[in-house]
Structure 1
Amino acid sequence: MAGSIVTLLLAGILAQGGSIYHQGWIDLNKNGIKDPYEDPNLDIEKRIKDLLARMTVEEKTCQMATLYGYNRVLKDPQPTGQWKDQIWKDGIANIDEHLNGVNGHGMEFNTSPARHAEAINVVQRWFVEQTRLGIPVDFTNEGIRGLCCVGATCMPAQVGQASSWDPNLIAKIGRVTGREARVLGYTNIYAPILDLARDPRWGRVIEAYSEDPYLTSRLGVAMIRALQAEGVASTPKHYCIYSVPKGGRDGAARTDPHESPREVEMIFMAPWRAAFMEAKAMGTMSSYNDYDGIPITGSYQFLTERLRSQYGFRGYVVSDSDAVEFLFTKHRVAATYKDAVRQTVEAGLNVRTTFTPPDVFINPLRELIRDGVIPMELIDSRVADVLRVKFTLGLFDRPYVDPARADQVVHCQEHRQVALEAARKSLVLLKNDGNLLPLSKHLRSILVAGPNADNDDICQDRYGPYNAKIITVLQGIKAILPDANIVYVRGCDIKDRNWPESEILPEGPDPQTSQAIRQAAEAARSCQVAIVVLGEDRSVVGESKSRTSLDLPGYQLDLAKAIYATGTPTVVVLLNGRALTINWIHKHIPAILEAWAPGEYCGQAVAEALFGDINPGGKLPVTFPKTVGQIPLNFPYKPASQADERTTVNGPLYCFGHGLSYTTFAYSNLVITPNRQKTDGDITISLDVTNTGAREGDEVVQLYVRDDVSSVVTYDKVLRGFARISLRPNQTKKVVFTVHACELALVDRSSQWVVEPGTFTVMVGSSSEDIRLKGSFELVRQ
């Protein structure tokens, strides 16, 4: 089918007098002349200026809207004659998620990567050859844990990626995602998510890197640079202050974040400054929410003053789905939808995206232009940003991809190896009393129980590879111990029949569940060890899956208690997407492994860690509270904000940066150079780390700094460096950090960024609470 369409399109061009494809350039407007915008050797800004001068109002406004792909808005998987009667006959800014297979749409074009790439080429060719100016399409797609596509390489969820504390690994993941996207024809990836996971009730914690702005910034920069190094635009989301809706409520809410201006500046905007000023992200997605009464997508302050004037952003802003409409329907700051269009375009929005036809936005936009409400100069500026990204990506010069290469690249051995490395490095050992782990491979009878033991659901994701093949924990254990007697009993479901109401009015298990739990306990009595795999699945965590409790849902705790009561040594493995309040498990179960959602190699990585083939070395990127009543409880925090009270439960269950190992590490020889520096200088901090145990292992060395006295209240300590290192037994490595004085700036009483002179305490350790070495330095005025 695709081949015949390509033939027909080419025949139509040839019938008009010959091919538009020339050596080194494409005659996009089919006039037989190499016009400036068609000249690859010309400066991009000159090409944009020339093209804008040729565009009609219809063509310009079409570059300000998204066309959602097949079976979302687009009714046809491939071009048809009716496309000439659609609004996109004048072009379109981007086509989102076309033929990526989500919900089974377009599966006939996903029989192989080459088939997929060919189908994308056919659509691109229609826009190049059948529109007047031949402006190519930016094909956008999701990619927060690997490319959102059938057959792509499946990585851990972002919270698991962040548990590696390894920017080099994040860069590898970005290169894999970007490479697979580009060979299939996708040129813009809506990743990474830079929202801070400050409230564990929020459903999308699983999609965030961390609660900490510095860790999120470092990993975000690594991902953005890696994606863009592969020739695709990175569009991080959701800009901004999106992850802290009132009460952590997601879904139809996503509004009313209660954060002070100074907190917004120093905490929430930090990853975005890094994304735009350091990594030079080509795109961003504006969020649904408001801040201080003004919707972000309608905020001139955030979309123009901050984003463009302060951060130097030169790409294009795409709205989150319905973010434009919400000014009218949810926030009620626009009396009509047309006024919502006006407000968002004036604020700084370039491209509107949602699951309705693009003409819903384009037609009122054209009316606003016709009536003189929105000047053409503003439209030209918004369209120029879109064209700049397309020129930068090379779409005007190389709009098509090689389908044969797609077969060689997508899910290749090299990419699968990165997925395995990521799964291994995402694991965090929370507890290991009595060195129960690693388990002996000589065990002959093992119970594997729990609703996530043979369940791959948490490793599947709407924003990652579609229908990925996942190794479950049960499969991984069977593979690593092929001769052992592995007894599997599910025991219970993830949640009970009355969930979520059961989170506030719990009821006992039904007879069927009670019987299943008894079967699991009975099986445990005849086994040498029990591995209980608990946690969450996509029915309780993810987008629009915020919670009122952080306890294990359903009867999972009952299952753990029943198995523990048998006296059989018990290990708990967690597959989940947020911090959970697992107090009973922490108190009684001797070994706990946090695995998050490790991707396609889930079961292999978990089994390798349980039986000692690898040594887990990850650290928590989020704080685990003891109870939901402690929220907000996150890092960094202000002095005395964690103070103990006689009437409250105090302190976290697991602090930010926590993570154990099967070996031990000693820290020594802290050197700070110089110990007195100007406020525009650098401080070098070095130390030695020695593996003092009997096994090879990874340690994440964490550098924290405290501003001892400041003009405004600052944080008790802030993360300003980290390094994941591998050490053999008795091996010592020197770790060196460089802290730029500007990284110690604060927002003063005049709301200005300033580096204040004074003394700063240096703390280096294995977590935010396990500090091994301390020192200090002084900053003085220039």
Structure 2
Amino acid sequence: MVHSLKVKGIVISLGLLLPGFWVMGQQKKENIYHKGWTDLNKNGKEDIYENPNEPVAKRVQNLLSQMNLTEKACQLTTLYGYHAVLKDPLPTPEWKHEIWSNGIANIDEQLTGWRNDMEYALPYSKHAEEINEIQKFFIEDTRLGIPVDFTNEGIAGLKAAKATSFPREIGQGCTFDKPLIHAIGVVEGKEARALGFTNVYAPEMDVATDARWGRVESCYSSSPYLNGQLGDAMVEGMQLQGIASTLKHFAVYSIPIGGRDGGVRTHPMVAPREMREIYLEPFREVFETAHPMGVMASYNDYDGVPVIASKWFMDTLLRKTYGFNGYVVSDSRAVEYVWEKHHVAPDYEDAIRQCLEAGLNVRTDFTKATDYIDPLIDAVRKGKIPMSVINKRVAEVLSVKFRLGLFDHPYVKDPAAANSIVHDKTSQELSLRAAEESIVLLKNESLPGQENKLLPLNPSDIKTVAVIGPNADEIKSMRSGYGPADFDVVTTYQGIKNALPGARVLYAEGIQHVDPHFPESDVENFPLTDEEKNSIDSAVNIAKQSDVVVMVLGDNNKTVGESHSRVSLDLPGHQTELLQAVAATGKPVVLVLINGRPLSINWAAQHIPAIVEAWYPGETTGTAIADVLFGKYNPGGKLAQPVPKSAGQEILTFPYDPGDEGSGRARVTGFLYPFGYGLSYTTFKYSDLKITPSDPKAGKDITVSFSVTNTGNVKGDAVPQLYTHQETSDVITYVKKLRGFERITLNPGETKNVTFTITPRDLSIYDKEMKFREEPGTYIAEIGSSSEDIELQQKFEVK
């Protein structure tokens, strides 16, 4: 298909334009900027696509009509940043001869500080100026001046040098705090915009149901309801700052067979009804409520069909059912895998065809852009891919760029302002609040012969404290490749030293995270080496000198994260042996876990009096943990994923069907710690449950209200949780479904009223014919402090 454009009396065949070709008679660069519009195509007049007052759809079509095939193809691929694919941090004269002289859809992870590019990443104002310089090339030095969408990661804070670091999503989920997650989204969006990034690949909406899987650390929860509610908050906070939020990974990505995270995460073992109710539900909720402008297509299959090449997933479900109207970006190399690994395409061109026809917009991979653009153009010229498909996919990309305002305001307006925006005092305070709220108190008992529980520790009683463990003074594992680079971390050891300026604080690593035989040691016991024995002996020695011991154990980058699945959920390496040796001294021991997945700490649960689950708290790790240990902050976090007793129980998750938790002979049954569980330094009473109306009708909302009172002596956070259960249903339904939660702060003696709304959707199921409908019948509403600690309950009947 050949387009033409009349410029100053000359008809140019756009289909024949070569990369870098300049239209005769174009204006000088300095003359393209006008009051209220920019002459992007340098033709001396205001085209429709250059007019900010024209509707987006009209602007898109006008621009599309002026684009040649190469320019369109360039809007369908990603260019990875400096030291990944780009060889230059900033534009060079050679760029006019590169394929991106025709434009590009987006540039990902440019100058983030992660790839030996720190000299370009700081100060913040310099980064913003550099992004402007790159954008200036695309505005001024390409034929049509189509701006770039600068994309980036943002699972635990924006992936940028010394940006504000937040807890990983596994910890954020445990806050059960929507306003907090919204505030985190605001900070990420604000920092992204200040630095020049316009699209952040977050949040991750995958549902974490198998703790063996390596990426559970970057999932909010096993509950689709909690996932969806927190996802709404995050997306809304981010996009309020004028950037796009791109959800990932769509779809059914987090449940590879056996939890094995590698290759293409293939063969998710999940039935169609469960897929909709669990793994797709958070995406549906966020698409329909928060309207993210982006989504990342995963590279796994479902029932033998790669998701990225499935018209049902990418169009029927995503666009026609969920109403998504942004652009779809592939996970890295997902298009190539359709051919290379899934083997459902005879060649690369056909893989491209399948993905584009299904609904993919932008391909990403850590290879040259021409590796995709050239075969794409060849496929079109051979008639394999209709131009109508290309036009539709390009139009969807351009629409997002127009909605982001990139055509009218392509530059960071005030680069210098970035220095006062990124990682400002307010953001640092929010980081600490998030870290504190994410911490879950798993156990807190008194020592033999003592009345008070071990925690909180009284600083005045402590002259010497030992801080022991591979995570006690660890920094590297606190940083995620999907979050900020090179940020300062307060370790647990440092945090305790800061909290106890008059005490003697001793430190020993005790043991490394993993032994020399890991990961084989997950399935076979290997004896301690002499070096490991000596290291444990040194730790025991300082424990004996101390009034109390804080053990800091858990994961590192070798044991959890992308492509780091495990077959065991025990503490990795010989960490349990270290814990047992220190506990044998008789000294009071507090176990602090810094980890990225639920760990089956069975021995510790039986023998250690106090256990604190901190996950990966971010830059304020040690400060937040010390605040909890010494009572400056009363922990109120709740488990967003249950903790199984053994990997052999997997998949053991919440919500679950009747009988899934296990029963009968020769079985390890139940959870070590259930969903929604978490202790406090105070106590709460629940009362006055009311359900209105008393005779609810199908299709109408139901209100559930009750009171919560702090009956203890200290201020604390309660997280009341609403669960529903259907007594009899058309198909088997989950024992309990989370349908409401709220984190509230109460002073001693204070009472607050809490109200939840149950919607008809909350009571709907996919029936035997896979129709989603609300069934009349008897239901039970339960109010609990966890999924197993039910304080109030009442039946109601929907007619």
TM-score (norm 2): 0.95
Aligned counterparts of 1:543 and 1:503: Cα–Cα separation in 2? 18
User: Structure 2 matches for 1:239-258, cutoff 5 A?
Assistant: 239-258=250-269
- Tell me, yes or no, if structure 1 residue 205 matches structure 2 residue 216: yes
- Tell me, yes or no, if structure 1 residue 594 matches structure 2 residue 613: yes
> Structure 2 counterpart of 1:239, which letter?
F
- Tell me, yes or no, if structure 1 residue 405 matches structure 2 residue 417: yes
User: Structure 2 matches for 1:178-217, cutoff 5 A?
Assistant: 178-217=189-228
> 1:528 maps to what in 2?
547
> 1:3 maps to what in 2?
none
The answer as to whether partners of 2:441 and 2:636 remain within 8 angstroms in 1 is yes
> Structure 2 counterpart of 1:48, which letter?
V
The answer as to whether partners of 2:78 and 2:105 remain within 8 angstroms in 1 is yes
The answer as to whether partners of 1:693 and 1:729 remain within 8 angstroms in 2 is yes
> 1:6 maps to what in 2?
none
> 1:416 maps to what in 2?
428
Deviation (angstroms), 1:391: 0.3
- Tell me, yes or no, if structure 1 residue 658 matches structure 2 residue 677: yes
Q: 2:629 aligns with which of 610, 624, 634?
A: 610
> Structure 2 counterpart of 1:441, which letter?
P
Greater CA deviation, 369-378 or 95-104?
Answer: 369-378
> 1:23 maps to what in 2?
35
Deviation (angstroms), 1:190: 0.3
> 2:59 maps to what in 1?
47
The answer as to whether partners of 1:458 and 1:575 remain within 8 angstroms in 2 is no
Q: Across the two proteins, how many residue pairs are aligned to each other?
A: 768
> 1:715 maps to what in 2?
734
Deviation (angstroms), 1:373: 2.1
Q: Secondary structure at the match of 2:172?
A: helix
Greater CA deviation, 454-463 or 199-208?
Answer: 454-463
Q: 1:541 aligns with which of 547, 551, 560?
A: 560
> Structure 1 counterpart of 2:142, which letter?
T
Deviation (angstroms), 1:15: 7.5
Q: 1:437 aligns with which of 436, 455, 480?
A: 455
Deviation (angstroms), 1:86: 1.1
Identity %: 51
> 1:289 maps to what in 2?
300
Q: 1:90 aligns with which of 102, 121, 127?
A: 102
Deviation (angstroms), 1:14: 11
Q: Deviations over 1:711-741 (max 9, x none)?
A: 0111101000001000111111111101111
- Tell me, yes or no, if structure 1 residue 396 matches structure 2 residue 407: yes
Deviation (angstroms), 1:138: 0.2
> Structure 2 counterpart of 1:580, which letter?
L
Q: Deviations over 1:384-404 (max 9, x none)?
A: 110011000000000000211
Aligned counterparts of 1:26 and 1:332: Cα–Cα separation in 2? 46
The answer as to whether partners of 2:27 and 2:44 remain within 8 angstroms in 1 is no
> Structure 2 counterpart of 1:424, which letter?
E
Aligned counterparts of 1:643 and 1:509: Cα–Cα separation in 2? 35
> 1:494 maps to what in 2?
513
Q: Secondary structure at the match of 1:678?
A: coil
Q: 2:772 aligns with which of 753, 758, 764?
A: 753
Q: 1:275 aligns with which of 286, 299, 314?
A: 286
Q: Secondary structure at the match of 1:563?
A: helix
The answer as to whether partners of 1:702 and 1:723 remain within 8 angstroms in 2 is yes
The answer as to whether partners of 1:675 and 1:776 remain within 8 angstroms in 2 is no
> 1:79 maps to what in 2?
91
The answer as to whether partners of 1:68 and 1:355 remain within 8 angstroms in 2 is yes
The answer as to whether partners of 1:13 and 1:20 remain within 8 angstroms in 2 is no
Aligned counterparts of 1:13 and 1:763: Cα–Cα separation in 2? 73
> Structure 2 counterpart of 1:588, which letter?
H
Aligned counterparts of 2:662 and 2:543: Cα–Cα separation in 1? 42
Compared CA separation, residues 480 and 198, structure 1 to 2 (3 A): same
Deviation (angstroms), 1:135: 0.3
Deviation (angstroms), 1:13: 12
- Tell me, yes or no, if structure 1 residue 114 matches structure 2 residue 133: no
Compared CA separation, residues 529 and 131, structure 1 to 2 (3 A): same
The answer as to whether partners of 2:705 and 2:754 remain within 8 angstroms in 1 is yes
Deviation (angstroms), 1:48: 0.7
Deviation (angstroms), 1:216: 0.3
Q: Secondary structure at the match of 1:612?
A: coil
Compared CA separation, residues 13 and 616, structure 1 to 2 (3 A): farther
Q: Deviations over 1:386-433 (max 9, x none)?
A: 001100000000000021111110111111111011011010000001
Q: Secondary structure at the match of 1:108?
A: helix
The answer as to whether partners of 1:450 and 1:489 remain within 8 angstroms in 2 is yes
- Tell me, yes or no, if structure 1 residue 168 matches structure 2 residue 179: yes
Deviation (angstroms), 1:284: 0.3
> 2:688 maps to what in 1?
669
> Structure 2 counterpart of 1:71, which letter?
H
The answer as to whether partners of 1:458 and 1:576 remain within 8 angstroms in 2 is no
Aligned counterparts of 2:521 and 2:637: Cα–Cα separation in 1? 33
Deviation (angstroms), 1:362: 1.2
Aligned counterparts of 1:16 and 1:403: Cα–Cα separation in 2? 25
The answer as to whether partners of 1:620 and 1:659 remain within 8 angstroms in 2 is yes
Q: Secondary structure at the match of 1:236?
A: strand
- Tell me, yes or no, if structure 1 residue 684 matches structure 2 residue 703: yes
Aligned counterparts of 2:29 and 2:543: Cα–Cα separation in 1? 79
The answer as to whether partners of 2:165 and 2:483 remain within 8 angstroms in 1 is yes
Aligned counterparts of 1:647 and 1:13: Cα–Cα separation in 2? 84
Aligned counterparts of 2:521 and 2:37: Cα–Cα separation in 1? 64
Q: Deviations over 1:207-256 (max 9, x none)?
A: 11111100000001111111111111000100010011011011224100
> Structure 1 counterpart of 2:669, which letter?
N
The answer as to whether partners of 2:83 and 2:115 remain within 8 angstroms in 1 is no
Q: Secondary structure at the match of 1:448?
A: strand
Greater CA deviation, 135-144 or 402-411?
Answer: 402-411
Q: Secondary structure at the match of 1:235?
A: strand
The answer as to whether partners of 1:140 and 1:187 remain within 8 angstroms in 2 is yes
Q: Secondary structure at the match of 1:397?
A: coil
> 1:300 maps to what in 2?
311
> 1:448 maps to what in 2?
467
- Tell me, yes or no, if structure 1 residue 37 matches structure 2 residue 44: no
Aligned counterparts of 1:308 and 1:452: Cα–Cα separation in 2? 45
Q: 1:470 aligns with which of 483, 489, 512?
A: 489
Aligned counterparts of 1:678 and 1:456: Cα–Cα separation in 2? 56
> 2:73 maps to what in 1?
61
Aligned counterparts of 1:571 and 1:17: Cα–Cα separation in 2? 65
The answer as to whether partners of 1:690 and 1:732 remain within 8 angstroms in 2 is yes
Deviation (angstroms), 1:103: 2.7
Greater CA deviation, 363-372 or 650-659?
Answer: 363-372
Q: 1:314 aligns with which of 325, 329, 332?
A: 325
Greater CA deviation, 209-218 or 80-89?
Answer: 80-89
> 1:7 maps to what in 2?
none
Deviation (angstroms), 1:698: 0.3
Deviation (angstroms), 1:458: 2.9
> Structure 1 counterpart of 2:206, which letter?
D
> 2:643 maps to what in 1?
624
The answer as to whether partners of 2:155 and 2:218 remain within 8 angstroms in 1 is yes
Q: Secondary structure at the match of 1:237?
A: strand
The answer as to whether partners of 1:674 and 1:777 remain within 8 angstroms in 2 is no
> Structure 2 counterpart of 1:614, which letter?
Y
The answer as to whether partners of 1:581 and 1:626 remain within 8 angstroms in 2 is yes
Instruction: In structure 1, list runs of 5 or more residues that go unmatched.
Output: 1-11
Aligned counterparts of 2:368 and 2:777: Cα–Cα separation in 1? 58
Greater CA deviation, 694-703 or 520-529?
Answer: 520-529
> Structure 1 counterpart of 2:365, which letter?
T
- Tell me, yes or no, if structure 1 residue 770 matches structure 2 residue 789: yes
The answer as to whether partners of 2:264 and 2:299 remain within 8 angstroms in 1 is no
Aligned counterparts of 2:217 and 2:644: Cα–Cα separation in 1? 16
TM-score (norm 1): 0.97
> Structure 2 counterpart of 1:610, which letter?
L
